[in-house]
């Protein structure tokens, strides 16, 4: 069968929704196709925090920030392999994108809380309600309903259709074994995410990241958009930059949101009861440091003072219940009790916590120079969970220009083909900073929607 639209969006993560809604508002007739039975992709299962320099919560808290500082942090965090021009757009468009999410999509952001992820000079990440991407994916769903944008699930894009001049005019997709041709008079937008769940593809670029690693990714994140575009000689960039997330569940590989207490001062210790890395270091640095410890595991430890600020156990109740049931996380009245549960050197751990309490009071971490400042661990209850790194984000991907057009090997844009989100490889360089993906997919998703509709 054949279907006709102005714009066809492939993928229903944050990039796809941002693109589809924007294209629709610009007057285009839009469809979203999604290969999984449900929408959301990785965007659904993230913590959902979004870096926005100069945001309203920063203003209210008197936190100074600027577009320049965000650009600097982002480029430095990615070892200067990100594209400066695209990072500039990311930074400049972050606030309008966040205001759009807040005022038009009705994403409920916490009004008085911010996150400071590793590599960021200041607290600048807005936090959606309940600290998960579910808040904004559910609001995106409501908006697509309101705008009557059809979402065709269980529909897998297989190949891009070109006319005789090479212009992309549609997508060949498969649903229940049947082929459907989606024709797009204005453009096709690739928003298919990265390739973290595709072991064959990721080991082609980084052999070490084989089956031993779990992944935080949704099942559908298999690099399809990159593969389809490469058939049209699209250019890729930075493909071997694959990020592991340092703190994931040791059995499932799923990202640990409850361990976001780390951003509020939770410690990382090893079996010997010692800290071994600055807890706010970059993800790659922490991941490597953990893999160098006994059993390639780390233990995340915090007490009531930190929990009062982070509220992670309160917010992620289901995660706690599951980890606790499986013996991967405990709550106790003393740190000694936690050390016993996990077989950690008790004396060394108590000595370590003693030093941390002292550093917290002095306001200077003499061991690892913790950039957020250490907090005391004096008040019960105390919490500890065991964690390890797993494959999280693929920084590399398609080369796009400032109009989100997909660029071919010859340096020219492929007519009619746009891309946004993790499928692209422009902004994060060798290492994506926490909270930058949501900014990236919203900013460039909106831009792709605008550009395709105007094409
Ligand atoms: P981003 O963060 O860039 O928006 P996500 O991972 O959140 O990316 O979303 C990507 C979505 O694209 C997922 O829901 C995934 O299932 C979907 N997807 C991936 N490949 C295809 C494909 N070939 N056809 C349709 N949908 C796809």
User: Is pLDDT above 80 for 214?
Assistant: yes
Q: What is the pLDDT of residues 322-365, one digit of tens each?
A: 999 999 999 999 999 999 999 999 999 999 999 999 999 999 99
Atom of ligand 1 nearest to the CA of 16: 4
Q: Relative to the CA of 43, which ligand 1 atom is closest?
A: 7
User: CA torsion sign, 404 to 41 to 122 to 285?
Assistant: negative
**Three-class secondary structure assignment of 11-34:** CCCHHHHHHHHHHHHCCCCEEEEC
Tell me, what's the pLDDT at 361? 96
Atom nearest to 220 CA in ligand 1? 16
Pairing of strands 30-33, 151-152: parallel
Pairing of strands 267-269, 298-302: antiparallel
Span 120-131, pLDDT tens digits: 999 999 999 988
Per-residue pLDDT tens digits for 303-319: 999 999 999 999 999 99
Paired tokens of 399: 């080369």
* Cα separation, 152 vs 5, whole angstroms: 13
Question: How far does the centroid of ligand 1 lie from the alpha carbon of residue 199, in Å?
Answer: 16
Q: Are strands 397-398 and 382-394 parallel, antiparallel or unpaired?
A: unpaired
Position in ligand 1 atom list of the atom nearest CA 192: 12
Which tokens in the block code for residue 381? 């209850």
What is the Å distance from ligand 1's center to 192 Cα? 3
The mean per-residue pLDDT over the stretch 158-164 comes to 98
User: Mean per-residue pLDDT for 397-418?
Assistant: 98
Q: Of 109, 124, 37, whose CA–CA distance to 74 is shortest?
A: 124
Mean pLDDT taken over the chain:
96
Contact 28, 146 (CB under 8 A): no
pTM greater than the 0.90 cutoff: no
Identify the band that residue 257 occupies on the pLDDT scale cut at 50, 70 and 90.
Answer: very high
Number of Cβ atoms within 10 Å of the Cβ of 285: 15
Q: Is 226 in the pocket of ligand 1 (CB under 6 A)?
A: no
Name the CA radius of gyration of the chain, rounded: 22
Q: What was the pLDDT predicted at 60?
A: 97
Alpha-carbon distances, residue 67 vs 73, 413, 448 (angstroms): 10, 28, 22
- Poorest-pLDDT segment among 165-169, 212-216, 247-251, 429-433: 212-216
What is the Cα 341 distance to its own chain's centre?
32
Burial class of residue 27 in the structure, from the number of CB atoms within 10 Å of its CB (0-12 exposed, 13-18 middle, 19+ buried) = exposed
Q: Tell which atom from ligand 1 comes closest to the C-alpha of 421.
A: 3
195 C-alpha to center of ligand 1: Å? 10
- DSSP-derived pairing of the beta strands 178-190 and 30-33: unpaired
Confidence of residue 152 (pLDDT cuts 50, 70, 90): very high
CA of 422 to the centre of ligand 1 (A): 9
For the segment 141-156, the average pLDDT, to the nearest whole number, is: 98
For residue 454, the SS3 value is helix
Q: What is the model's pLDDT at position 46?
A: 86
pLDDT of residue 251: 87
Quick one: pLDDT at residue 219?
Answer: 86
**Hey, which residues does 172 pair with through a beta bridge?**
159, 181
Task: Tell me what the mean pLDDT of segment 78-97 comes to.
Answer: 97
Is the confidence at residue 212, as pLDDT, over 80?
A: no
* Rounded distance between C-alpha atoms, residue 276 and residue 290, angstroms: 8
DSSP 8-class letter at 261: G
Atom of ligand 1 nearest to the CA of 422: 3
Asked about 283 being catalytic, the answer comes back as yes
Banded model confidence at residue 4, pLDDT cuts 50, 70, 90: very high
Q: Which of 368, 60, 303, 32 is nearest to 173 (CA)?
A: 32
So what's the pLDDT on residue 44?
A: 86
**Ligand 1 mutation target, pool 9, 13, 255, most atoms within 8 A of CB:** 13
Is the CB of residue 43 below 6 angstroms from any atom belonging to ligand 1? yes
Q: Whose CA is nearest to atom 3 of ligand 1?
A: 421
Residue 210 has pLDDT above 90, yes or no: no
Burial (Cβ within 10 Å: 0-12, 13-18, ≥19) of residue 423: buried
Omega cis (within 30) before 325: no
What is the CA(90)–ligand 1 centre distance, in A?
Answer: 21
Kindly state the tokens that stand for 31: 């469809």
DSSP assignment string, 59-76:
HHHT----HHHHHHHHHH
- CB of residue 424 inside a 6 A radius of ligand 1: no
**pLDDT score of 304:** 98
State which of 8, 9, 10, 11 you would mutate to test the pocket of ligand 1, scoring each by most atoms of that ligand within 8 A of its C-beta: 11
- Quickly tell me which residue has 């079996």 as its tokens: 271
Top mutation candidate among 20, 159, 191, 192 for ligand 1, by most atoms within 8 Å of CB: 192
Instruction: Assess whether pLDDT exceeds 90 at residue 47.
Output: no
Around Cβ 376, how many Cβ atoms within 10 Å? 17
Written as six digits, the tokens of 5 are: 């639209």
The Å distance, Cα 421 to ligand 1 centre, comes to 9
Regarding the beta carbon of 11 and ligand 1, being less than 6 Å apart is answered yes
Q: Is 53 in the pocket of ligand 1 (CB under 6 A)?
A: no
Question: Which region among 75-89, 204-218, 370-384 has the lowest average model confidence (pLDDT)?
Answer: 204-218
Q: How many whole angstroms separate alpha carbon 6 and alpha carbon 451?
A: 12
Average pLDDT over residues 192-210: 94
Asked whether the beta carbons of 329 and 251 are under 8 A apart, the reply is no
| Active-site residue, from 124, 202, 262, 283 | 283
Residue 16 Cα to ligand 1 middle (Å): 8
Residue 45's pLDDT is what? Answer: 82
* 6 in contact with ligand 1, CB cutoff 6 A: no
Residue 352 CB less than 6 A away from ligand 1: no
pLDDT in tens, 7-34: 999 999 999 999 999 999 999 999 999 9
Q: Whose CA is nearest to atom 9 of ligand 1?
A: 13
- CA of 15 from ligand 1 middle (Å) equals 9
Q: By C-alpha distance, which of 112, 156, 107 is closest to 128? A: 107
């Amino acid at each position: 069968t054949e279907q006709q639209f102005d714009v066809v969006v492939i993928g229903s993560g944050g990039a796809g929704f941002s693109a589809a809604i924007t294209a629709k508002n610009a007057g285009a007739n839009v469809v979203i196709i999604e290969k999984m039975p449900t929408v959301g992709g990785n965007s659904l299962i993230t913590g959902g925090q979004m870096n926005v320099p100069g945001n309203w919560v920063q203003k209210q808290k008197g936190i100074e920030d600027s577009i320049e500082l965000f650009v600097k942090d982002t480029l430095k965090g990615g070892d200067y392999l990100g594209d400066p021009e695209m990072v500039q757009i990311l930074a400049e468009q972050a606030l309008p994108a966040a205001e759009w999410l807040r005022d038009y999509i009705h994403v409920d952001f916490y009004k008085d809380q911010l996150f400071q992820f590793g590599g960021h000079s200041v607290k600048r990440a807005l936090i959606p309600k309940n600290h998960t991407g579910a808040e904004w994916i559910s609001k995106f769903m409501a908006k697509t309903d309101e705008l009557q944008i059809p979402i065709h699930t269980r529909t897998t894009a297989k190949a891009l259709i070109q006319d005789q001049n090479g212009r992309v005019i549609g997508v060949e997709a498969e649903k229940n074994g049947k082929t459907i041709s989606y024709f797009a008079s204005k453009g096709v937008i690739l928003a298919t995410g990265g390739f973290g769940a595709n072991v064959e593809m990721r080991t082609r670029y980084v052999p070490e990241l084989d089956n031993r690693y779990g992944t935080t990714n949704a099942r559908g994140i298999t690099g399809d958009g990159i593969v389809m575009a490469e058939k049209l000689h699209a250019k890729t960039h930075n493909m071997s930059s694959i990020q592991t997330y340092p703190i994931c569940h040791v059995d499932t590989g799923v990202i640990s949101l409850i361990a976001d207490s780390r951003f509020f001062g939770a410690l990382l210790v090893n079996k010997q009861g010692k800290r071994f890395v600055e807890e706010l270091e970059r993800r790659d640095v922490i991941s490597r440091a953990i893999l160098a410890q006994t059993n390639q595991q780390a233990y995340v430890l915090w007490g009531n003072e930190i929990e009062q600020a982070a509220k992670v156990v309160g917010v992620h109740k289901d995660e706690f219940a599951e980890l606790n049931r499986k013996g991967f996380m405990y709550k106790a009245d003393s740190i000694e009790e936690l050390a016993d549960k996990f077989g950690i050197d008790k004396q060394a751990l108590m000595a370590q916590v003693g030093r941390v309490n002292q550093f917290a009071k002095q306001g200077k971490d003499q061991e690892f120079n913790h950039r957020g400042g250490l907090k005391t661990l004096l008040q019960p209850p105390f919490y500890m969970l065991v964690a390890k790194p797993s494959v999280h984000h693929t920084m590399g991907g398609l080369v796009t220009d400032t109009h989100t057009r997909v660029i071919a090997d010859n340096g020219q844009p492929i007519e009619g083909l746009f891309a946004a989100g993790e499928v692209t490889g422009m902004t994060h360089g060798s290492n994506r900073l926490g909270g930058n993906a949501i900014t990236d997919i919203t900013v460039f998703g909106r831009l792709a929607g605008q550009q395709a509709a105007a094409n």
